[in-house]
Amino acid sequence: TSTARCACKSVELHFPEPTPRFRIHCCCVDCLQKAQWAAEHGGPQLPNDVVTLRRPMDLVYFGNRLRVTGHKHLRFTKLRPDSSSTNCVTSCCHTTLLVDHTYYDGKCLLLFPDLVELETVLDPPTFVNGSLDWPPKKLKELPPEPPIGQRVDASGCSWSDKNHAELPPAFEGSVTFEELLGGRDPEVLGLAEDARSWRLRSQSDE
């Protein structure tokens, strides 16, 4: 099993999987923005090398089946009305615990090892994602490992192979992200999209 805790340890997440399904580094401006928003409201601070763009954010993925203690502290947010991601943040200490995304198809969940206290077995990150959101100069300064662009892991499986696999079997007290959300509408934070966003820049070029 694997366990994740918020900064003040009021909330614990228990996953049946002993290790994440996949691990990557991510240059996506949305990942950084949601973490920085939480930090500005008293949440865990990002490591300095992430803030200064010397390292992308660390991302791990587990199957969408977990047991939660401390439900009353869970809060759900989106950066903008059209955001594809829904974030689970704690109200007790503003730790970003989980992220769901429409592309995950209900099969997996994202966690940030830089922000949560994580007890699991971690393999090295497989690749760097979202590089189009980063300044080219900063990309050139990254080490050769992990490589930029999607790759298969040591077992020869892609991100999709692992993260779109079936859910772990239900176990006592387990829920999915959708069940945690319980039909509620996430709070929309209304943050402006980062100007470095490749999506935003590509729209302005049209």
Q: What is the pLDDT of residues 20-38, one digit of tens each?
A: 999 999 999 999 999 999 9
Match 């892609």 to its residue by tokens: 158
Q: Kindly tell me if the per-residue pLDDT of 177 is higher than 60.
A: yes
Q: Kindly tell me if the per-residue pLDDT of 205 is higher than 80.
A: no
pLDDT attached to residue 27: 97
203 pLDDT band, cuts 50/70/90, is confident
200 pLDDT band, cuts 50/70/90, is confident
Instruction: Using a pLDDT cut of 90, give the percent of the chain over it.
Output: 94
Average pLDDT over residues 28-55: 96
pLDDT attached to residue 202: 86
Q: What is the mean pLDDT of the chain?
A: 95
Average pLDDT over residues 183-196: 95
Length of the chain: 206
How many other CB atoms sit within 10 Å of the CB of residue 98? 23
Q: Kindly tell me if the per-residue pLDDT of 89 is higher than 60.
A: yes
How far apart CA 124 and CA 25 sit, in angstroms, is 10
pLDDT attached to residue 206: 54
Average pLDDT over residues 50-75: 97
**Residues 197, 86: contact at Cβ < 8 Å?**
no
How far apart CA 150 and CA 130 sit, in angstroms, is 10
pLDDT attached to residue 126: 96
Is the alpha carbon torsion for 196, 109, 4, 11 positive or negative? positive
Q: Kindly tell me if the per-residue pLDDT of 201 is higher than 90.
A: no
